């Protein structure tokens, strides 16, 4: 990257059209995350008959494979040079594999032997995860490249959050209202291929929209200078540099803990709504349909909120609010203060869906805006910009939501003795102890993991003042490194 890249990135305005086009790429991730987090564990355990531990291990193994590849993908994108820039080629290549894997993952052939079923689902999940990385890592890196302004990065992240809302609504609303709208359709194997086709179509629409809308701007972004000494550092040396950044480490660990807790909750939602909260079949989708509304509220609130507080404090407040409410709501039902299936319990879990969407969106805006600031600090400390490598690190945390979170959810189902109901899946088919275990897994257990993140997030140190000083120091360094102008020869008077 040329020395004045941060200055040029901030000098060129990010107008409304660019913000919308760039934000639409985030919907690719949100569509796939909503599809996997909401339906995959339920589909595998309650429809395909896979055990909770086997299904959970698929999430974990996929995460491990993807986590090993993500840093390589990030570094490759950071160093890529082409006439189309260093981000677009990766994003365009990833769309078709994502579409194919998303469709086939929800079209499991009937009566497969257990080993073949496991290999089929695992292989497709790995392809989907890796393809998503090839798209999402370069896309996420652009938050740091499009502007170096502290506040503008939050604005860009808010547009990304807006498309999380739109992408989540685009997959969940037709899923619950149309594809799974009929009684017991969630247990029907015939409904899921239609859901897979919907998922693949939305990936194509949002992905192509992002690429076409940002094309002209992205091909003008500066390419990396591979002759700079730091750019020649090996892959492992660059990864070690990430963990030598004192702001990156607490942000990374905090993000993983938050997203693992949210991922476990998301993977358990359908089980908990049906068997713990005992929502009537027409209302099972209510909390999930309120999530996009909560996300919209969180997107609107993030801007004014971050003008008053630091990004770190925004995450801490959102995590605390969501965790405490989720735990309290589950305990209220477990202790018998509110009966499952009652109007009061429906109100409790419906508000949780709203709060989950709002707090999750505030966390997203703060995390991705903060990681862009950490890229500047990395440049300040080591003299090299590594936007996609930082995005890869945070992306690993995001995938922990469906990897470690899904594994823990599946393991928890195994430990409490949950098994596939044999009577059409009515809410009374699981023993009372299993239903209570579901509530405790969904509420306090997931919340404890999220609350642990606060210990690490308090150590994140890049605030407004420090970021402003970092930019001043970088500008001074770039100015001193610029080659001096050639002096004009002095011609003596004859």
Is it the case that residue 127 has pLDDT exceeding 60?
yes
d(CA 56, CA 332): 28
How remote is the C-alpha of 42 from its chain's centroid? 20
Q: What pLDDT band is residue 103 in, cutting at 50, 70 and 90?
A: very high
Lowest mean pLDDT among 17-31, 168-182, 421-435: 421-435
Two tokens at 80? 């890529």
Q: Is residue 342 part of a domain?
A: yes
Instruction: Report the range out of 85-89, 204-208, 387-391 with the highest average pLDDT.
Output: 204-208
Give pLDDT, residue 128: 96
Two tokens at 139? 């896309």
Q: Is residue 171 part of a domain?
A: yes
Tens digit of each residue's pLDDT (9 = 90 or more) over 185-217? 888 899 999 999 999 999 999 999 999 998 888
- In the chain, helix, strand, coil percent, each to 5? 75, 0, 25
Domain that residue 424 falls in: 15-217+235-477
> Structural domain tally of the chain?
1
Q: Is residue 274 part of a domain?
A: yes
DSSP letter for 48, please: S
Residues of the chain with pLDDT > 90: what percent? 39
Q: Is residue 408 part of a domain?
A: yes
Question: 322 and 360 in contact (C-beta within 8 Å)?
Answer: yes
Lowest mean pLDDT among 7-11, 99-103, 302-306, 346-350: 7-11
CATH of the domain at 40: 1.20.1250.20
Q: Is residue 409 part of a domain?
A: yes
Give pLDDT, residue 9: 44
More confident residue, 180 or 220: 180
Is it the case that residue 376 has pLDDT exceeding 80?
yes
d(CA 249, CA 407): 24
Two tokens at 335? 């202790």
Q: Is residue 140 part of a domain?
A: yes
d(CA 310, CA 30): 25
Q: Is residue 9 part of a domain?
A: no
Q: Is residue 1 part of a domain?
A: no
Give pLDDT, residue 2: 43
Tens digit of each residue's pLDDT (9 = 90 or more) over 145-185? 877 777 777 888 888 888 988 998 899 999 988 999 887 88
């Amino acid at each position: 990257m040329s020395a004045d890249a941060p200055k040029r990135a901030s000098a060129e305005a990010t107008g409304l059209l660019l913000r919308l086009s760039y934000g639409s790429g985030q919907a690719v991730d949100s569509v796939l995350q909503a599809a996997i987090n909401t339906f995959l564990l339920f589909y595998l355990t309650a429809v395909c008959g896979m055990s909770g531990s086997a299904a959970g291990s698929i999430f974990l193994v996929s995460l491990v494979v993807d986590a090993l590849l993500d840093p390589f993908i990030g570094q490759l994108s950071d160093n890529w040079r082409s006439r189309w820039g260093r981000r677009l080629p990766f994003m365009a290549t990833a769309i078709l594999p994502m579409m194919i894997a998303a469709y086939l993952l929800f079209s499991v052939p009937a009566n497969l032997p257990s080993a073949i079923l496991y290999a089929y689902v695992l292989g497709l999940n790995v392809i989907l995860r890796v393809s998503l990385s090839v798209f999402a890592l370069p896309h996420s890196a652009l938050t740091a490249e499009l502007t170096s302004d502290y506040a503008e990065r939050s604005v860009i992240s808010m547009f990304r959050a807006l498309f999380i809302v739109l992408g989540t609504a685009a997959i969940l609303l037709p899923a619950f209202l149309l594809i799974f709208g009929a009684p017991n359709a969630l247990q029907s194997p015939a409904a899921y291929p239609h859901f897979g086709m919907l998922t693949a179509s939305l990936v194509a629409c949002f992905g192509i929209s992002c690429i076409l809308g940002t094309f002209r701007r992205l091909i003008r972004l500066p390419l990396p200078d591979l002759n700079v000494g730091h750019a020649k550092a090996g892959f492992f040396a660059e990864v070690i540099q990430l963990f030598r950044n004192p702001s990156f480490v607490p942000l990374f660990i905090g993000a993983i803990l938050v997203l693992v807790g949210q991922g476990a909750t998301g993977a358990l939602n359908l089980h908990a709504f049906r068997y713990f909260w005992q929502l009537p079949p027409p209302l099972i989708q209510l909390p999930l349909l309120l999530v996009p509304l909560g996300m919209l509220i969180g997107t609107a609130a993030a801007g004014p909120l971050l003008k008053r507080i630091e990004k770190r404090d925004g995450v801490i407040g959102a995590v605390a609010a969501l965790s405490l409410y989720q735990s309290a709501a589950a305990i209220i039902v477990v202790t018998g203060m509110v009966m499952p299936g009652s109007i009061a319990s429906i109100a409790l879990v419906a508000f949780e869906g709203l709060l989950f969407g709002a707090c999750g969106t505030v966390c997203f805006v703060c995390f991705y805006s903060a990681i862009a600031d950490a890229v500047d600090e990395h440049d300040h400390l080591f003299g090299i910009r590594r936007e996609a490598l930082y995005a890869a690190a945070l992306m690993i945390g995001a995938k922990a939501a469906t990897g470690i979170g899904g594994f823990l959810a599946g393991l928890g189902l195994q430990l409490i003795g949950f098994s596939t109901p044999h009577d059409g899946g009515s809410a009374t088919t699981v023993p009372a102890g299993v239903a209570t275990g579901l509530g405790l897994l969904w509420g306090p257990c997931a919340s404890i993991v999220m609350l642990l993140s606060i210990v690490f997030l308090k150590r994140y140190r890049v605030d407004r003042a420090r970021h402003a000083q970092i930019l001043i120091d970088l500008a001074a360094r770039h100015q001193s490194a610029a080659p001096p102008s050639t002096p004009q020869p002095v011609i003596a008077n004859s």
